[in-house]
Amino acid sequence: MKKILLACSSGMSTSLLVTKMKEYAQSIGEEAEIWAVGQDKAKEDMRKADAVLIGPQMSFLKSELQKEADQYNIQVEVIDMMAYGMADGKKAYEQALSLMVNQ
């Protein structure tokens, strides 16, 4: 089971991408739990995740969230801008997986 957390300002715009990522994960037969939260809940939800992706409009959060994520030994990355804009579930899902490889 792969657990991916997405965070943006209010969790609303990333929730669109969540749906697409879930669809993609299902289509390749992988079990994944993917959810979106606002920035205020990101730190709290992090402990349940294997990787954290943040919306590009919140890129300035990365260093602060990564500090927190280090405790759980997970990676935080900004979602590729084009993948985010086009709600490209495949690309974003693969980006999340690439963050788990290094663990």
Partner 1 sequence: MFEKISQFLVPIAGRLNNNRYLQVLRDAFMLAFPLTIFGSIFVVLTNLPFLNKIMNASMLTSFQSHFGIASTATMGIMSVFVVFGIGYYLSKSYQVEAVFGGAIALVSFLLLTPFIIQPETGDAITGVIPVDRLGAKGMFLGMITAFLSGEIYRRIVQKNLTIKMPAGVPPAVAKSFAALIPAFITLTVFLLINVMVTLFFKTNMHDVIYHAIQAPLVGLGSGIIPTLIAVFFIQILWFFGLHGQIIINSVMDPIWNTLQVENLSAYTAGKEIPHIISKPFMEIYTVGMGGTGMTLAIVFTILIFMKSRQMKQVSKLGLAPGIFNVNEPIIFGLPIVMNPIIIVPWVLAPMVVTLVTYLAMSAGLVPPPTGVTVPWTVPLFINGIMATNSIMGGVMQLINLLIVFVIWFPFLKAMDKLNLAKEKEQAVQETAAQQNDNSIKM
| Catalytic machinery residues | 8
Closer residue to partner 1 (CB): 36 or 51: 36
CA angle 68, 74, 80 (to 5 degrees): 95
66 binds partner 1 (CB under 8 A): no
86 binds partner 1 (CB under 8 A): yes
Burial of 1 (0-12, 13-18, 19+ CB in 10 A): exposed
Find the binding residues for partner 1 in span 8-47 (CB under 8 A).
8-9, 12-13, 16, 39-40
Size of site (CB under 8 A) for partner 1: 22
Separation CA 61–CA 39 (nearest Å)? 8
